[in-house]
Amino acid sequence: MFVLSIVIAYSCNNAEGSASEQREKYVLVVHGGAGTITRQNMTPEREAQYRSGLEAALLAGYQIIQDGGDALDAVEAAVRILEDDSLFNAGKGAVFTNDGRNELDASIMYGKNRMAGSVAGVTIIKNPITAARAVMEKSEHVMLAGRGAELFAMAQNIDTVPPSYFRTEPRWRGLQRSLRNDSLRMQNQTAVITPDPDRKFGTVGCVARDKNGNLAAGTSTGGMNNKKYGRIGDAPIIGAGTFADNNTVAVSCTGWGEFYIRNVVAYDVSALMEYKNMPLSDAASAVIKKVGDAGGNGGLIALDKNGNMAMPFNTEGMYRGAITESGKMEIYFYKD
Amino acid sequence: MFVLSIVIAYSCNNAEGSASEQREKYVLVVHGGAGTITRQNMTPEREAQYRSGLEAALLAGYQIIQDGGDALDAVEAAVRILEDDSLFNAGKGAVFTNDGRNELDASIMYGKNRMAGSVAGVTIIKNPITAARAVMEKSEHVMLAGRGAELFAMAQNIDTVPPSYFRTEPRWRGLQRSLRNDSLRMQNQTAVITPDPDRKFGTVGCVARDKNGNLAAGTSTGGMNNKKYGRIGDAPIIGAGTFADNNTVAVSCTGWGEFYIRNVVAYDVSALMEYKNMPLSDAASAVIKKVGDAGGNGGLIALDKNGNMAMPFNTEGMYRGAITESGKMEIYFYKD
């Protein structure tokens, strides 16, 4: 019985290996956040905008890999495009904190050497993913926070902007709605309050695999709408929101950050693959199931060393897309 | 061959299980940092001071567990004593940042429900471990940073102190030494510079197992001497510096934080036990070996669900101690 189960696991793993050789390998996967993303809530115009944003990110990263460039460059390029796109809760278009500011977090990891960099709570860095990469490459540290992270980024000549650059009207209205709800809650405990559907789940990320087999992962976010007290979510935490190791997998997460931190989600996918010989799809699904069982929700994107891809989530939808070696692009929003 | 290796692993695991039933179970383990701790550098007076600090922490936690109290209370009590003891780089006696401040980090995790809390970069919280616990129990978040974390702690009536409370002369001199070294480096690239032996490795931590089989882990630190740019190490990061799960193990780390973050050290011990059925001692040693292979150093303390204990490190020494159910105390500083 014991031996049998091992053999089955082993052959499953092999089976996926063979299948991946028959089909095209994926080279880049992106996400633009998980959450209440349903056909009912979507208009054709809005759908086209999200599609166009994800396409632009996929193509920017793909171009670099096709030209023989590095997975790390591809991840940075793709995430920068999503940060610059005000639709997504990262960079321009980030949600607001309770005191009306945009505080941004990002992290990046390179599977070749397992080096990593991250910034948390920055307010004037145009592209936090680029600052995270600078922390990885130009400092002896992994994680820098707040004003210190900004001073470091400025010393590296990374683009800064006035805080007002990040402000968009939809996000500002989102904060006002949340503040009104807070106020209603204080006045009347039984008031019917419409929760902000996008409160927790707007984050962008990318995982890539280049022609040399190097993996990289990056994640960037404006965090949680109406967040207080300098809250840090999973996005800037290596192991929780981002992880990459050439021997296993690159992972970028989006979801209810507290559950992702406690479940060490990004690294857990890698650990299940390395220590239990699980194929990527099983490992990724198992980890999202754990998050769900604990009461959390969200999703992740992952790309393994063989070019297999997984994008599980347990929310109504997740903005996500992937591109293969041949340039074939797939973009999805909903569960089915 | 394949079957054989599984059987061996399985029987090793069993063997440790049986051994632990024969010998006394450990209930609480503490560390006061790893680093250049050698007999040559130590005086009898200093040795007695460290011993007395570790003993006080062990006894405070032990008393709680003996009285039927919870592992979480025991961990908090033990870490508070180490924070209050100016010998250790946590709370009073923390090292200074490059700009002459004491910035403190701490985290705590409860194995019963895998809840966790953490604070980073706080400057006025007398006992950061207590603030971390409040984040876990009184907020919907896991990690709070900087002024926000302080405002949260104050709203929870947690003791605050003026920043000068944390200042000690030895740590201040440590900063001055580092600043002189920085200045020498800038003037003369080839100058012979005495590195600060305690630059990276002063951190305190505790893991405990109570009579109900609940595990908890806590870690607290003043970070890296002369640190710049709001650097965050592994101590406040769940999965890196601290982890606890009743099904596996409680872990608290001390070492070169950047390597601990990238290797997701605390959770990796748990993953090796859960996914590879490794006994604690093998898992803990394997993870410290990984840190060393990557170029990092430090140690960790761990206590598994059966009351087995491990305290591996790859530095010259680590201040550490453990106490068993019967109250038998063991305290060690050096490698042998």
* Range scoring the smallest mean pLDDT among A11-20, A162-171, B8-17: B8-17
Residues of chain A contacting B258 with CB distance shorter than 8 Å: 140-142
A61 occurs within a structural domain? yes
Question: pTM score, two decimals?
Answer: 0.91
pLDDT at residue A20 greater than cutoff 60? no
Tens-digit pLDDT profile for residues A199-233: 556 799 999 999 999 999 999 999 888 888 999 99
B1 inside domain: no
Q: How far apart are alpha carbons A18 and B278 in whole angstroms?
A: 30
- As annotated, the active-site residues of A are 203
DSSP A283-305: HHHHHHHHHHHTT--EEEEEEET
Q: What is the pLDDT of residue A14?
A: 32
The distance of Cα B155 from the centroid of its chain, to the nearest Å, equals: 27
Is B264 among the domain residues?
Answer: yes
Enter the tokens of residue B325: 């159910």
Whether residue A70 lies inside any domain: the answer is yes
pLDDT at A22: 53
Closest CB to A231 among B141, B230, B258: B141
Give the distance from residue B293's alpha carbon to the nearest chain A alpha carbon, in angstroms.
Answer: 12
Q: Which of residues 195-234 of B touch A (CB under 8 A)?
A: 228-233
- The per-residue pLDDT for B21 is 47
Q: What pLDDT was estimated at residue B191?
A: 56
**Residue from B253, B214, B142 nearest A263 by CA:** B142
Among the partner residues B139, B145, B238, nearest to A146 by beta-carbon distance: B145
Interface of A with B in 77-96 (CB under 8 A): none
- Catalytic one among B203, B221, B248, B315? B203
Helix then strand then coil, in percent of chain B rounded to 5, is 40, 25, 35
User: CA angle, corner A179, sides to A174 and A183, nearest 5?
Assistant: 150
Domain extent for B31: 6-188+195-334
Distance CA B262, CA B275 (A): 20
A1 occurs within a structural domain:
no
In a domain, B307, yes or no: yes
User: What is the pLDDT of chain A when averaged over all its residues?
Assistant: 90
Report the residue of A7, A143, A263, A273 to disrupt the B interface, i.e. the one with the largest count of B CBs within 10 Å: A143
- Least Cα distance to B110 among B271, B244, B251, B218 occurs for B244
CATH code at position A29? 3.60.20.30
Contact yes or no for B144 and A109 at CB 8 A? no
In a domain, A131, yes or no: yes
pLDDT at A201: 66
Per-residue pLDDT of A89-148, as tens digits, reads 999 999 999 999 999 999 999 999 999 999 999 999 999 999 999 999 999 999 999 999
Partner-chain residue, chosen from B147, B263, B276, that has the shortest CB–CB distance to A230: B147
- In total, chain B counts a number of residues equal to 336
Cβ under 8 Å to B: A residues 286-305: 294
Nearest CA in chain A to B264: A239
The reply to whether B190 belongs to the active site is no
Question: Which helix (H) or strand (E) segment is A219 a member of?
Answer: strand A215-221
Residue of chain A whose alpha carbon sits nearest to that of B150: A229
Report angle CA A90, A96, A100 to the nearest 5 degrees: 145
pLDDT of residue A197: 52
Q: In this model, does residue A189 exceed pLDDT 90?
A: no
Residue with the bigger pLDDT between A295 and B190: it is A295
CA-nearest of B238, B94, B227, B101 to B171 is: B94
Q: Which residues of A touch B243 (CB under 8 A)?
A: 264
What is the domain count for chain B?
1
Separation between Cα atoms, residue A135 and residue A121, nearest integer Å: 14
pLDDT in tens, B1-49: 333 333 222 223 333 444 444 578 999 999 999 988 888 888 999 999 9
Question: What pLDDT shows up at residue B192?
Answer: 55
Of B229, B232, B263, the CB nearest to A151: B229
Instruction: Mark the ranges of chain B whose per-residue pLDDT is less than 50.
Output: 1-21
pLDDT, residue B20, reads: 43
pLDDT of residue B182: 84
- Which residue of A136, A142, A185 to mutate against B (max B Cβ within 10 Å)? A142
Residue of B nearest to A266 (CA): B264
Q: Which two tokens mark A303?
A: 């790309």
